[in-house]
Amino acid sequence: MAETIYTIPINEAFEKHSGCPFCGLHDDLERDSLEYVMGAAMMQPDVREETNRIGFCRNHLDKMMGMKNRLGLALLLESHMALIEKLLEAPVSGKKSFFGGSKDSPTPSKAVIDISKNCFVCNRMSSIMERYMSNAVYLWKSDGAFREKFANQKSFCMEHTGMLLATAGSELDSKQLPIFNKMLLGLMKNHTAELKNDLTGFIKSFDHRNAGKTLTEEERKSVENIIIFLRNM
């Protein structure tokens, strides 16, 4: 059964008709996740243990810096740095260290590598986005009104199209999957054709033979619109 806590925002996002609905969900989720980790959650022992162990990526550290809660960020960083200090302690002679080797041949440990590539906010968002995808496919399968909303979407971005196709491939049966794929890929083909035509119109405007020709709003923004369509979150 679909989880209402996820289906409500999905329905709301699909009613907006302003770009990829999952990009809108992603942006809302990122904002909520940053407010969560910088708010009361930082005083919850289980959350604090995770933020200490995992840390944050460059992108989310920058965004946390801009939230004007310098003390809250300082507290998170203090305990995170304490854990990093332990990981980087010099090995005791003759014993294995956090680096996974002896004093004579230190090699980076898995813990150090993991902490440099991990992010608490990214992990939280990834988990919830997977649930959004699963619930969206469930709604498409079980709710005629939502299927109509889906069919009326202008497009999805490439990243979320891939996630939808993968989720549908694992959650729909052999009769439902071709119908879903045809609907989704049909939307995407129409949208990519429009984007390409707008881009061609923009490029042609630089030809001296088209001097003075008025560009449409879509043609003027064609490069930006295609970047939004192509880029990963």
Could you write out the three-class secondary structure of the chain?
Answer: CCCHHHHHHHHHHHHHCCCCHHHHHHHHHHHHHHHHHHCHHHHCHHHHHHHHHHCCCHHHHHHHHCCCCHHHHHHHHHHHHHHHHHHCCCCCCCCCCCCCCCCCCCCCCHHHHHHHHCCHHHHHHHHHHHHHHHHHHHHHHHCHHHHHHHHCCCCCCHHHHHHHHHHHHHHCCCCHHHHHHHHHHHHHHHHHHHHHHHHHHHHHCCCHHHCCCCCCHHHHCHHHHHHHHHCCC
CA–CA separation, 55 and 101 (whole Å): 24
- Residue with token string 């707008």: 198
- Residue with token string 């810096």: 65
* Residue 88 or 69, more confident: 69
CA–CA separation, 189 and 181 (whole Å): 12
Tell me the per-residue pLDDT of 82-126, one tens digit each, with 9 for 90 and over: 988 888 875 554 455 554 554 544 445 676 777 778 899 999 999
CA–CA separation, 196 and 200 (whole Å): 6
Lowest mean pLDDT across 102-106, 118-122, 155-159, 177-181:
102-106
The closest alpha carbon to 29, from 51, 6, 11, 48, belongs to: 6
Give the residue-averaged pLDDT of 198-227: 90
pLDDT above 80 (res 4):
no
9 vs 29, 128, 133, 161, 229, CA distance in Å? 10, 12, 12, 18, 22
Q: Which residues make Cβ contacts (< 8 Å) with residue 210, sequence separation at least 6? A: 204
pTM: predicted TM-score of the whole model, two decimal places: 0.80
pLDDT above 80 (res 200):
yes
pLDDT of residue 2: 58
